[in-house]
Every structure is written in C-alpha cells, then in structure tokens.
C-alpha cells in the first residue's frame, strides 16, 4: 500500500478586523468592537467551505493590565470572545473544520480544563484543539494576583506537567466504556474500564476520575508556539502542531530541521508534529498592484503618538529612524525577541522599519504578488521542508481572506498541494495525526506481551 501523499495544512488565525494594526480603519472591515457571533461564524464557515484544517483563536488574557495608553485607538481584543466559549458555539454551526482554542496554563487547573476540552471534543464531533501557552506578562500577573512568579523554564515545566495530568484524566475511561449498558443484569459498565488518576507531582496533586467519557479524538490536538530553545524542546515532547515564525526559507528550514530532530528522543516520528509558520500576504493582479496594496495597509500604522513597543520594550525615547538599541532579553517571548534582534542586525533596520517588518505581524512572513506567485512561494517552503503548512493571518478581514480563498486556494488545489474535500471525520484525522491509544490499554498490552 502506497503512503499517503503529503499535503499542506492550512489554518486560519481568526481576528475581527485583520491582523494588522490599524486594520479596523479600513473601509472593508467591520466597524466597532462589540462581540458579533453571526459575523464570526460566517468567517469560520467560509474557511470550512474552503476546506481549511482549523480556525485558530488566540488569547491574551489580561496582558494589557490597567494600561490605558492609546486605548482609544486600538481594538480591545482579537474577536471579542473567550476562545473556549466561542469554540463551543461554533461547533454547532460547523461540521468539519477544527477549532483551536488558546488556554493559558498559568490561570487554569488541569481537572477543570480537561473537563471543558473533553466536553467540547464530544460536542464538536472530535474537532477541538488546545493551543498551550504559559506566558506570564506583567499585566496578567497583576490581574490574577500572582505572587509566586515562575521564571521562563519553570513555566514550561509546569505546563508540561499540566499536559501530562490532563492526558491521565482524559484516559479515565476506556474507549467505549459506556457502550455496553445491560438493563437485564443491571450492569451499566465494566468497572475495569475506569482508571482513577492519582497524580502527586511538583506542581499539581490530583486524585480524581474525569466525569466525561474519553474524548472522541483520544486527546484534543495539542498546539504550541515555541521559538526559544526551551519552547522547541517542549514542542518536540508534547505538541502535535507548532505555530512558528520565520522570515526566510533558510531560517524556516533550520527551525523545521531542529524541531523535527528533537522528536526521536521522545519516541516520536517526523509526522507526529506539524510545523505551521504564520503567513500574511497581499494579492494583486500584478506584483506591482500587490505591493501597492501592501503599502496601503502599512500606511494605517501610526508612529506619531503613544508608545512604540517591540518585544515588550518601550522604545518611545529612541529615534524612530535610528537603530535598535542593545536591550535585555525579555522573560516572555524569548524566541521572538531573538528573531527580532537577528533581523535588525542582519539588515541594519531602524526601529520604524522593525515595527513595519516585525512588530506589525509579530515576526511572521509576508508574501506579496499574484495568486500564482504566492502559491509558488508556499509550495517552495512546503517542498523544501520549511513548513508542513501555514497559519494564515489575513491583514484585513474579511476582504483579504476572501481573496485568498478565491484566488490562491484553487491554485494550490490545481497543483495537488491542498485538499478539495475533507478526508477524515475528526480534526486529528484531517491533519494526518494518529489517534493516541489510552495509556492504560497500552500498559495492559505490554503486560500481556510479557
């Protein structure tokens, strides 16, 4: 039997107005910031009709703290909704597309979150993903009243234990444990199908049975965004899809090879982790038209008032058209900061140029050109092992996304790079990821073999 052909994975990074600062000012984006589920649902349904793998919902809970600087000029959030809540609502109006919710491990407990994610996986028919983040910015520290602030590597360590405990809880029941209720005998289920969790670790102590049957996917698909060395190691051990960033093919290939190389030590194969760089774009009938469109979007970024910030550093006191000064590495976003500094030094960029090149799109790649030229660039990274797919971040919503679907997706399909129909029933199946075996069944198999 021949191996299945490798195909691109495409996820939509969902925003209300677009990913670019100032996108809300464009005439083609919706006005106001009130939550609008009908609008959001229409965007995700559009992605589903285009056969996208997933809709991805970021979350930056309380990161702004009580800072009101320039608040009158900036939308308050990406969609106006809490990710898990909106994933549940979207599950009822979609059938195939994956729904990836960002949840910060610092402000949740494994039992409650495992319960919510298992519920959502059943409600959606097996389409939930969890983007694991462990950032702890100053605003969130104050908002949540955190006294014992963990440093960078300790936060990753705690997040790893969080995932391991969540998996134990999801494995509380064998697959099909509730399928054999016998009314005549009065036996509802086989007691051997339940596996209480007794976890006494460094960060968590839990003795419990999750009150929900094992998720349809076994476990929700685990996403993570890791650019630092610690983040890459975490992804190699736990993640099934990694939200990456790179500006050049060479950088993307180095990142791709490094993360994939680390998998073997955890008994994992290359295909067990999908590397999905962020990707923005500008499409035109010609390269010149696309460049003009991109310049128009960039013109919406303001430099004349308020704080100029990069990597969490306030650069307002430095000349906009001067070089990036030597600054200490931040405790959050270490990998992104290294990318920013490397880009600045390599291309001798000013602070203004860095904001336009890096901060506006958080270090992600921008492709500019005709639909065929953009497809060429996506294919180049995919074929040459710089990416397994992309997290698409349209600069303007919904117009940029509609253009991509109408022009680039058909070109990718003509080249045999992207599906024309969903192949599987679950998000995991469509990504080409194996369904994890219940760890208790796996252990029983080892004992039986011995």
Measured distance CA(108)–CA(116) in Å, rounded: 11
9-297+366-449 has which CATH code?
Answer: 3.20.20.30
Q: Average of pLDDT values for 157-174? A: 98
Q: What would the pLDDT profile of 330-358 be if each residue is shown by its tens digit?
A: 766 666 667 677 777 877 888 877 777 66
Cβ(84)–Cβ(101) below 8 Å: yes
Answer whether residue 442 shows pLDDT above 70: no
Measured distance CA(52)–CA(419) in Å, rounded: 9
Cβ(42)–Cβ(397) below 8 Å: no
Mean pLDDT of the chain: 89
Cβ(99)–Cβ(124) below 8 Å: yes
What does 362-385 look like in DSSP terms, one character per residue?
TT-EEEEE-HHHHHHHHHHHHHTT
Answer whether residue 449 shows pLDDT above 50: no
- Residue 375 has phi, psi (to 5 degrees) of -60, -35
What is residue 450's predicted lDDT score, i.e. its pLDDT? 42
Q: Is pLDDT larger for residue 63 or for residue 257?
A: 257
Q: How many helices (H) and strands (E) does the chain have?
A: 15, 13
The domain ranges of the chain are 9-297+366-449
Cis peptide before 398 (omega within 30 of 0): yes
What is residue 152's predicted lDDT score, i.e. its pLDDT? 85
Q: Is pLDDT larger for residue 90 or for residue 34?
A: 90
Measured distance CA(56)–CA(239) in Å, rounded: 15
* Distance separating the N- and C-terminal Cα atoms of the chain: 31
Q: What would the pLDDT profile of 183-198 be if each residue is shown by its tens digit?
A: 999 999 999 999 999 9
Find, among 77, 75, 127, 123, the residue nearest to 101 by Cα: 127
What is residue 222's predicted lDDT score, i.e. its pLDDT? 98
Q: What would the pLDDT profile of 69-124 be if each residue is shown by its tens digit?
A: 767 777 666 778 999 999 999 999 999 999 999 999 999 999 999 999 999 999 99
227 burial via Cβ count (<10 Å: 0-12, 13-18, 19+): buried
What is residue 22's predicted lDDT score, i.e. its pLDDT? 77
What does 414-441 look like in DSSP terms, one character per residue?
HTTSS-SS--SSSHHHHHTPPPPPPHHH
- Residue 166 has phi, psi (to 5 degrees) of -60, -40
Q: pTM for this one?
A: 0.89
Q: Is pLDDT larger for residue 318 or for residue 2?
A: 318
Cβ(189)–Cβ(182) below 8 Å: no
- Residue 199 has phi, psi (to 5 degrees) of -115, 115
223 burial via Cβ count (<10 Å: 0-12, 13-18, 19+): buried
Q: Helix, strand, or coil here: 447?
A: helix
């Amino acid at each position: 039997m021949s191996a299945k052909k490798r195909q691109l994975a495409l996820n939509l990074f969902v925003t209300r107005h677009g990913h670019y600062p100032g996108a809300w000012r464009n005439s083609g984006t919706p006005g106001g910031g009130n939550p609008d589920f009908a609008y959001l649902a229409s965007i995700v349904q559009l992605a589903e009709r285009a056969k996208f793998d997933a809709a991805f919902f970021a979350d930056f809970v309380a990161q702004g703290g009580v800072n009101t600087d320039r608040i009158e000029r900036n939308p308050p959030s990406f969609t106006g909704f809490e990710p898990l809540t909106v994933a549940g609502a979207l599950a009822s109006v979609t059938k195939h597309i994956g729904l990836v919710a960002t949840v910060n491990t610092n402000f949740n407990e494994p039992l409650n979150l495992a319960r919510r994610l298992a519920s959502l996986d059943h409600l959606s028919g097996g389409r939930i993903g969890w983007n694991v983040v462990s950032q702890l910015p100053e605003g969130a520290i104050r908002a949540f009243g955190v006294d014992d602030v963990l440093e960078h590597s300790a936060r990753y360590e705690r997040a790893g234990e969080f995932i391991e405990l969540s998996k134990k809880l999801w494995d509380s029941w064998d697959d099909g444990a509730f399928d054999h209720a016998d009314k005549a005998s009065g036996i509802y289920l086989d007691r051997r199908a339940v596996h209480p969790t007794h976890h006494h670790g460094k960060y968590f102590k839990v003795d419990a049975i999750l009150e929900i049957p094992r998720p349809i996917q076994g476990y929700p698909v685990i996403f993570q965004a890791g650019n630092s060395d610690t983040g890459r190691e975490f992804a190699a051990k736990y993640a099934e899809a990694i939200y990456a960033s790179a500006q050049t093919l060479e950088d993307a290939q180095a990142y791709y090879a490094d993360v994939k190389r680390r998998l073997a030590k955890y008994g994992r194969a290359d295909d067990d982790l999908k590397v999905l760089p962020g990707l923005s774009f500008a499409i035109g009938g010609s390269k010149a038209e696309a460049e003009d469109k991109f310049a128009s979007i960039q013109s919406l970024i303001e430099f004349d008032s308020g704080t100029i910030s990069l990597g969490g550093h306030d650069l307002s006191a430095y000349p906009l058209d001067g070089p990036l000064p030597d600054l200490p590495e931040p405790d959050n976003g270490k990998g992104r900061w290294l990318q920013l500094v490397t880009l600045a030094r390599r291309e001798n960029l000013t602070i203004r140029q860095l904001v336009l090149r890096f901060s506006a799109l958080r270090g992600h790649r921008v492709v500019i050109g005709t639909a065929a030229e953009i497809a060429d660039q996506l294919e180049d990274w995919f074929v040459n092992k710089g990416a397994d797919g992309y997290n698409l971040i349209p600069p303007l919503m919904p117009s940029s996304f509609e253009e991509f679907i109408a022009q680039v997706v058909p070109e990718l399909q003509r080249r045999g790079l992207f599906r024309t129909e969903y192949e599987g029933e679950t998000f995991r199946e469509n990504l080409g990821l194996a369904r994890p075996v219940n760890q208790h069944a796996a252990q029983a198999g080892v004992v039986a073999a011995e």
